[in-house]
Structure 1
Amino acid sequence: MTTPQDLMIIALDVAPDRPVGRGDLALALAGAELIDLLAAEAASLADDLIVPGHPPPLADPLLSEAASSLVREAPYESVGDWLWRRGRDLPATYLAALQSDGRLARQGRRGVPFRTTRMALADSPDRRRAADRWTAGEPVLTSLATAIGIAPEDPAATAPDDDTATTVLAAVNDALLELESVRQRRTIEDAAFDNIWRGN
């Protein structure tokens, strides 16, 4: 079980106050992958640059894929650039993995047309482990979930005691702020465009 898998399960399992945006989740999943890669010594940080390492084979195929996608030539890649590049389509990748393993299944009620069925998590050891980690308030998982609005910010929450994880979490928060500013700018531009059409 990995941090991005746990985060994906929690995003599906815990009803947030507001729906989690796909872009927000993508950035958080990429951050979770990087935190796990750093913990496995598949990479290290030099300031905010990701320097690839030479770890033993990783058991999780998606984490192995993430490790193989690290930029392996200097000047390497910044944490922020990794989040945007690696995060693209990452929620769909993790959803597909949960489905292929039988951990996510289409559920419906008798007499309800198929089109109204929804995807639901199966009861599995992975789901229970993610829930245990969530209930325990594990700092990295809680910080990532809070950043994308799954949980309200808790001033009393324990911060990660790992400097590299803290660096990645800060980069995730910066990327989320950037994404939100892009959304706001598009909303303003769309509203201005609509006003031009109404005025003609």
Structure 2
Amino acid sequence: MTTPRDLFLVTVYDAAARPVTQGDLSLALAGAELVDLLAAGAVTLDGDLVVPAPQGGTGDRLLDEAAAALRQEAPYESVEDWLWRRGRGLGAAYLDVLEADGTVVAQQRRRWLPLPTGRTEPSDSPERAAAHERWTSGEPVLAALAAAVGIQDEAAGDLVGAAPEATVTVVAAVNDAVTELAAVRQRREIEDAAFDNVWRGL
């Protein structure tokens, strides 16, 4: 299993009492992909710029797609730009892949998940068990990514010193992007409310 697959499973299923929005989850999944690509040697960071490195396939379809989507020549994009570009619709893409490989299946009992593809639940599989174990053990990177999308109040420990500097940079960028997205939502709500008030006053 990969970090984004584990992140999807634990944020949507283990922490379903605090559902994450599609936008927040997609940004975090893009960050999780970058964390795994860094670990695989498929990318490096030059400051906050994502620089592809010669590397074979990862063995995971979506991670390989992510690697192929990297800008291959300068000027390279920043981590933040990568999150916004790669993250668009990524939550739904992961659900599709997890359904296709049987990691999640059609749900027997009814529970609404914050994704447009319907009601599903994780299957009883080694992948599911591994994700759950990583989550309950408080593995720092997974915990920090989950904290970024509001699944828990604090990451399990400080990532600084517990993870490579490049990973810390990526997780910080995920936090910033999720915060920015929340601000955009708030502005839209305020604008919509003001518009409604104008119409009521006419």
Instruction: State the TM-score, normalized to the length of structure 2.
Output: 0.91
Query: For residues 135-173 of structure 1, what are the alpha-carbon distances to aligned partners after superposition, in whole Å with 9 as ceiling and x for unaligned?
Result: 11111100001111122215x624232100000011001
User: Secondary structure of 1:8's match?
Assistant: helix
Matching of residues 5-44 of structure 1 within 5 Å: 5-44=5-44
> Percent identical across equivalent pairs?
57
In structure 2, the residue matched to 1:172 is: 174
Q: Give, in whole Å, the separation in 2 of the partners of 1:126 and 1:147.
A: 23
The AA in structure 2 aligned to 1:48 is: D
Which consecutive residues of structure 1, in runs of 5 or more, have no partner in the other structure? 110-116
The AA in structure 1 aligned to 2:178 is: L
The list of structure 1 runs, each at least 4 consecutive aligned residues, that deviate by more than 3 angstroms after superposition, is none
In structure 2, the residue matched to 1:188 is: 190
Measure how far apart 1:132 and its partner are.
Answer: 1.0
Measure how far apart 1:45 and its partner are.
Answer: 0.3
Query: For residues 64-98 of structure 1, what are the alpha-carbon distances to aligned partners after superposition, in whole Å with 9 as ceiling and x for unaligned?
Result: 11000000110111000000000001001100011
Which consecutive residues of structure 2, in runs of 5 or more, have no partner in the other structure? 110-117
Q: Give, in whole Å, the separation in 2 of the partners of 1:170 and 1:107.
A: 35
The AA in structure 1 aligned to 2:194 is: A
Contact between 2:141 and 2:163, CA under 8 Å: does it hold in 1? Answer: no
Contact between 2:12 and 2:19, CA under 8 Å: does it hold in 1? Answer: no
Measure how far apart 1:15 and its partner are.
Answer: 2.8
The AA in structure 2 aligned to 1:22 is: Q
Q: Which moved more, 1:144-153 or 1:37-46?
A: 144-153
The AA in structure 2 aligned to 1:194 is: D
Q: CA RMSD in A?
A: 1.4
In structure 2, the residue matched to 1:72 is: 72
Q: Give, in whole Å, the separation in 1 of the partners of 2:167 and 2:91.
A: 21
Q: Give, in whole Å, the separation in 2 of the partners of 1:150 and 1:124.
A: 23
Matching of residues 83-122 of structure 1 within 5 Å: 83-108=83-108, 118-122=119-123
The AA in structure 2 aligned to 1:126 is: E
Instruction: State the TM-score, normalized to the length of structure 1.
Output: 0.92
Contact between 2:9 and 2:128, CA under 8 Å: does it hold in 1? Answer: yes
Q: How many residues align?
A: 192
Q: Which has the larger radius of gyration?
A: 1
User: Secondary structure of 1:77's match?
Assistant: coil
Q: Give, in whole Å, the separation in 1 of the partners of 2:138 and 2:172.
A: 19
Measure how far apart 1:18 and its partner are.
Answer: 3.0
User: Secondary structure of 2:183's match?
Assistant: helix
Measure how far apart 1:131 and its partner are.
Answer: 0.8
